[in-house]
Structure 1
Amino acid sequence: MTLPQVVSPEEWQVARDELLVKEKELTRAQDALNAERRSLPMTAIDKEYVFDGPRGQVTLLDLFEGRRQLIVYHFMMAPGSKHRCPGCSMVADNIGHLAHLHARDTTLVLVSPAPLSEIEPFRKRMGWTVPWFSAYGNDFTQDGGVGDGFGVSVFLRDGERVYRTYFTTNRGGDQLVGTLRYLDLTPLGRQEEWEQPAGRGSSGPGHWWRLHDEYDS
């Protein structure tokens, strides 16, 4: 494994300051991209969807819990499948206290096409408290362009009308995983083979992910 070059504290500070200039450029570029995302047009959701939750059946409008914005993480869990997605589970593990989102008039929920009877045992096993709803029997997952995978949909409520404003999947989901953000700060990074400098990782993207109770201690 190749390791970083050893230099004096003064040389390290010079290199750090040079990188800081690029980090600030990236921050400004990210701010500009976020502004473009907020300026995207939106499309009305006129179809009725009914979800199963811990307190019974609810509509898409109900998922907002009276707030203005709704973020839905489409958690990969197919009806009858024994597979429990480690990637989606890492996303769920990285969800912080929801009070911070609620303070900005925003609700976050998980939605899966599996029935609630399959969702609830896994939620309890993982110790998650984030609201998780079943889309079993409706077209919400397919209509959202998720297919058999995962994704993130964002909705805005204007009175009783609901609009979809954003969707992302694949590497777009990285932005939700604080674990990856922390690893990106380290010299060994995520220890995946695609990363540079080469030679510090051997696994494919996400191949090392496990359910949090399945890592070899």
Structure 2
Amino acid sequence: MSEHRIGTQEEFEAARQELLVEEKELTRRGDELARKRRDLPWVPVEKDYSFETEDGTKSLADLFDTRSQLLVYHFMFGPPYEAGCTVCSSIADTLDPNAVHLKARDVTLICSSRAPLDKLLAYRERMGWSFDWVSTVGSDFHRDLGFLHTEDELRPFLDGEIPPTVSQMAQASGTDVLGYVTEGPGLSAYARSDDTVYRTYVTTARGLEPAMAYYGLLDRTPMGRHEDGEETFWLRRHDEYDRAH
């Protein structure tokens, strides 16, 4: 572990109190952003999306399952994948136990991917999850939200130097780089009112960090995330760590 400033308990308490002021400011700012997020205009979903589920083909409205709110995690698991994205899998580890608590607040949580349903369900069994997982019929649902990319759109990235982490994640999912980065992760939220479904929020990238609980915890450890300079990404599926270390 790298060298660090050493101090007395009194020095720690003084510095901690200064930091606490900033942490409280951040909390208040977070509350304000949450309010503004809820105040975003709702957009009616006019396209008829279809999904393959364990109970047959369903519409987006059907996925609410009697509740008025729906959260969809767009899980990177494309048709050529042999296993779900490692990072998305770590997110699903957080989502799965929270689904029951969201139901208590009138929210249905599901995951959506483009791979065939039987492949998704087999992977869900391997991972020990229980959330509902649907397979999109066609590509429009993920594409319309910006979570599916064409080869032409990706060409500047593909023609450049591919980061080792991307190659590592593609290999871990049993596909090539193009097959891997064609998919994108995301979270979308919906409300249903008077038989109309509205899209209320969409996020991706670091907007997904609330579902990556380990980062919030690592941010409070002495070494933090400690990812800079690492040639191999540390994250693994939860059943792969014994093999990795």
Give the structure-2-normalised TM-score: 0.81
Farther off after superposition, 138-147 or 8-17: 138-147
Rounded to whole Å, the distance in 2 between the matches of 1:46 and 1:136 is 16
Give the alignment's Cα RMSD to 1 decimal: 1.6
Deviations 1:45-73 (A, max 9, x none): 01111111112111111111111110000
Give secondary structure in 2 for the equivalent of 1:114: coil
Where is the helix percentage greater, Structure 1 or Structure 2?
Answer: 2
Q: Which residue of 2 aligns with 1:183?
A: 218
1:203 aligns with 2:226: no
How do residues 66-215 of structure 1 correspond to structure 2 at under 5 angstroms?
A: 66-95=66-95, 96-147=97-148, 148-193=183-228, 202-203=229-230, 207-215=233-241
What are the within-5 Å matches in structure 2 for residues 45-64 of structure 1?
A: 45-64=45-64
- 1:138 Cα deviation after fit: 4.8
Q: Deviation per CA, 1:89-133: give whole Å up to 9, x if none.
A: 010011233221112111110000111021111111111101100
Offset, 1:11: 1.1
Which residue of structure 1 lines up, in the alignment, with residue 37 of structure 2? 37
Is the 8 Å Cα contact of residues 69 and 106 (structure 1) preserved in structure 2? yes
Aligned residues of 2:110 and 2:131 also touching (Cα < 8 A): yes
Q: Using the alignment, how far apart are the partners of 1:138 and 1:59 within structure 2? A: 14
Change beyond 3 A, Cα 1:158–1:3: farther
Q: Greater shift after overlay, 132-141 or 166-175?
A: 132-141
Quote the offset at 1:140 in angstroms.
1.0
**In the aligned structure 2, how far is the partner of 1:174 from the partner of 1:11?**
32
Separation (CA, whole Å) in 2 of partners of 1:203 and 1:152: 28
* SS state at 1:94 partner: helix
Deviation at 1:16, TM superposition (A): 0.7
User: d(CA) in 2 for partners of 1:3 and 1:65?
Assistant: 54
Aligned partners of 1:100, 1:120: CA distance in 2, in Å?
A: 22
Shift of 1:3: 3.7
Which ranges of structure 2 fall in alignment gaps of 5 or more residues?
Answer: 149-182
Q: Aligned partner of 2:85: which letter?
A: C
State the partner residue of 1:199.
none
Secondary structure, counterpart of 1:97 in structure 2? helix
- 1: distance between equivalents of 2:214 and 2:139? 33
Would the aligned equivalents of 2:83 and 2:123 in 1 still touch at CA under 8 Å? no
DSSP-derived class of the 1:98 partner: helix
Residue identity (%): 44
Give the Cα–Cα distance (whole angstroms) in 2 for the partners of residues 107 and 41 of structure 1. Answer: 21
Query: 1:196 is matched with which residue?
Result: none
Runs of 4+ in 1 over 6 A off after TM superposition: none
